[in-house]
Amino acid sequence: MENFRVVHYLNQFFAGIGGEDQADMSPAIREGCVGPGLSLDRLWQGQGKIVATVICGDNYFSTNPEATVQELLPLIEAHHPDVVIAGPAFASGRYGLSCGYLCRAVVSKLRIPCVTSMEPENPGVQEAKGLAYIISASDRVARMGRVLPKVARLAAKLACGQSPGAAQEEGYLPRGYRLNTLRTESGAVRAVNMLLAKMNKHSFMTEIPLPQYDQVTAAAPLETGGKIRLALVTESGLVPEGNPDHLESSRATKWLKYPIPGEKYVANKHYSLHGGYDVRFVNADPNRVVPLDAVATLVREGVIGEVCQHYYVTTGMAAPIARATKFGSEIAHDLLQEGVNMVIVTST
């Protein structure tokens, strides 16, 4: 394919419109390339061209990402791109999330390949991971010149229908896929060579990278009795009848807080909308996932002092780790404001 078509997504800052004073701007489109798109166009040397740049303010996007995506998709689709590029976003959280949301929607709904770029710890990585190609970037915008050639090269391959090389070759973050390749050495030989390299403190690359998780130190136990103020927190998607705040059944974008209904939950007054397990038993008895009935008994017996009069809920189905971490931090802050010193967290 020659002269492939590209649509580029930028926030208000990189589009040269303004900073925080313009962060509420609604989606707009400009013909041709803007900002870093000018450098991308030059890198392709006529092989490809940015036909349009879509722009949106960081605040506007982050306030209602799903609705904003629905505004942006028709603008992108109308220009018939062979590939879409978002960013680079570097370490900017709001911008990174916008790039991640948009790339996910473009790939899953428009079936158009996407390339974005951001710092690996940017929360936007979790939004686009496994769908878009994410070129690893530093947290410094000054490194733009090092990132754009990688973005341009990978975007050109995708636009022309070529298969990208491995993550370490192209510079993108691993996407979670393992592909079969032919090697001259057997697995046993490769494993022994890696072990010898490790023992001799030489560099090597594992073929099975393991995920890294935070280690959380358990809090010290509390003595039972009147000093305990306990709260109930759940990711089971248990909401009041009618789901008044529209909690999602998966990939939740919010956590919610509702009044405790007396000493137990009653069927038909609360139900679970979680998309990852069979909710019939929970809907028959909501106390199975939020044990209000058992906790009320402990209060009557004097084992704990009192129960916080609100419970906290979100949906854990397909929750990105970065977003779940953010929810946990926000809920913990609210619990402290409520004077809570013990929490029961129920999971599905």
Contact call for residues 87 and 104 (beta carbons, < 8 A): no
Task: Convert the pLDDT of each residue in 69-108 to its tens digit.
Answer: 999 999 999 999 999 999 899 988 889 999 999 999 999 9
What is the pLDDT, as a whole number, of residue 129?
A: 83
Helix (H) or strand (E) holding 305: strand 304-313
What is the pLDDT, as a whole number, of residue 19?
A: 87
Contact call for residues 33 and 41 (beta carbons, < 8 A): yes
**340/232 Cα distance (integer angstroms):** 10
**293/348 Cα distance (integer angstroms):** 18
What is the pLDDT, as a whole number, of residue 226?
A: 75
| Helices and strands of the chain, counted as H and E runs | 11, 12
What is the pLDDT, as a whole number, of residue 92?
A: 86
Helix (H) or strand (E) holding 271: strand 270-272
Contact call for residues 129 and 175 (beta carbons, < 8 A): yes
| Whole-number percent of the chain with pLDDT over 90 | 64
Helix (H) or strand (E) holding 5: strand 4-11
**212/324 Cα distance (integer angstroms):** 16
**44/101 Cα distance (integer angstroms):** 26
Q: What is the mean pLDDT for each group of 10 consecutive residues in the chain (348 residues)?
A: 86 91 92 92 92 94 90 95 93 90 94 94 86 89 90 93 85 80 89 93 82 78 84 95 93 93 91 90 94 94 92 88 88 94 90
What is the pLDDT, as a whole number, of residue 1?
A: 46
Q: Is 106 exposed, middle or buried (0-12, 13-18, 19+ CB in 10 A)?
A: buried
DSSP tag of 228: E
* Residues 6+ away with beta carbon under 8 Å from 205: 168
4-170: CATH topology is Rossmann fold (3.40.50)
* Residues 6+ away with beta carbon under 8 Å from 18: 12
- Domain coordinates in residue numbering, the chain: 4-170, 225-346
**226/224 Cα distance (integer angstroms):** 7
